[in-house]
Amino acid sequence: MVIPIIGGSELSNSDKDEIQDATDLFGMSFGSGVEYYFSDSFSIGGELSFNLLFHSTTYEDEGGYDYFSYKREYNTRLGATLTQITFNYYFQ
């Protein structure tokens, strides 16, 4: 689950609300892992995870005049891969 957090020291609350309303965010995470036990107390493991984030933002300003109005839309796709090897000792 991906939750956007909008912040900034120079942003007013109305600016933050406007940015949150204009931001469309969707994220997914896929992963798999294995763990092999050498004994009751010791194991080795591995994990592979892929994170994907889709983001789109639309800015629109009418400005009161037709020649000053504009609409911009930005679409972004971000991906990250995580690999991990673990050595585990379990206290009994």
The first and second tokens of residue 86, run together, are 């673990």
Residue 60, SS3 per DSSP = strand
Pick from 27, 26, 8: nearest CA to 18: 8
Percent of the chain whose predicted confidence (pLDDT) is above 90: 26
| Mean pLDDT of the residues in the chain | 80
pLDDT per residue as tens digits for the range 66-79? 666 677 777 888 88
If residue 37 lies in a helix (H) or strand (E), which one and from where to where? strand 23-37
Amino acid at 19: I
Residue labelled with tokens 């679409």 = 75
Predicted local confidence at residue 66, as pLDDT: 60
